[in-house]
Amino acid sequence: MKIIVLDGYTENPGDISWAPLEALGEVTVYDRTSYEESPLITERIGDAEVIVINKTPVSRATIDACPNLKAIAVLATGYNVVDYAYAGEKGIPVMNVPVYGTDNVSQFAIGLLLELCSHIGHHSDSVHAGEWASNVDFCYWQFPMIEVSGKTAGIIGLGRIGINTARILRAMNVRVVAYDAFQSEAGRAVAEYVELDELLAQSDFIFLHCPLFPSTQGIINKETIAKMKAGAILINNSRGPLVVEEDLADALNSGKLAGAAVDVVSTEPIRPDNALLTAKNCIITPHISWATKEARERIMQTTADNIRAFMEGKPVNVVNM
């Protein structure tokens, strides 16, 4: 079995092993190929039977140009970079990794909240810059310090990650409300389901943990921000296009929102003209909620398991058939 990894660097920059894939056949790993449609993609796939991707796009044209292609494995949960419907029509299963980073993404979401409330990184930088040593007082703070306990958090999207985040928040004495089109008993155990407008009006902290669908694209916009509490905080480490970034920047700069922290943006890598780069009280991290070594090892093993199951004629984690 000939297996081509088109963009392996973010999954494995060198600290884990490709051995789980190498046990399955002849493996060629490219650190990067292209994040845009490119002839190089087809060239590198060649006569491979299986391709492994993260964010390299696989279009209808690419599929047609690679007649030997039999399976596509995605090193992630999201698979929108693949024309998966057309792949399905051609009998090519697209396999993803549905569960690998629940704890990591929740951990990161809470970390973003705590950074906005306590500004730990900023004050550490301030001390290292000599500002404490030269201060006349025994302490100082350069941003308002916000107590998390006793507040209300609203979670938009109460799936696995949302439920896990809710559990952590409840342990911090935070009331949790949630909005989700699909309610569950597991969700009811950790949060009170409310309508979206009610969540926006009640929440001191708002977390986005929902998938990107046409119904959720731009769910945070001028109109929904207007319904939020003055001084609310927004956390997004789900998908960048859930937020209309210009509207969020306006809300931060006007003081309507006290802060925002995002690990994802609408176009990645971030464009230099992204409005959030110059917005007040906005933390931006480079899409790393998922990137612990432990999580990436789980991705590697699950991807190998997916390919092995396909080779055995019993494919699993297939999203298009």
Q: Is 263 exposed, middle or buried (0-12, 13-18, 19+ CB in 10 A)?
A: buried
**Active-site annotation holds for 239:** yes
With beta carbons less than 8 A apart as the criterion, state whether 41 and 58 touch. Answer: yes
Among residues 239, 271, 296, 297, the one annotated as catalytic is 239
Catalytic residue among 44, 123, 209, 287: 287
Beta strands in the chain (DSSP E): 2-5, 26-29, 50-53, 71-74, 94-95, 152-156, 175-179, 192-193, 205-208, 232-236, 257-262, 282-284
- State the CB neighbour count (10 A cutoff) for residue 112: 24
Set 22, 26, 195, 268: catalytic member: 268
Is residue 69 within 8 A of residue 92, CB to CB? The reply is: yes
Termini Cα distance of the chain = 22
What are the catalytic residues? 239, 268, 287
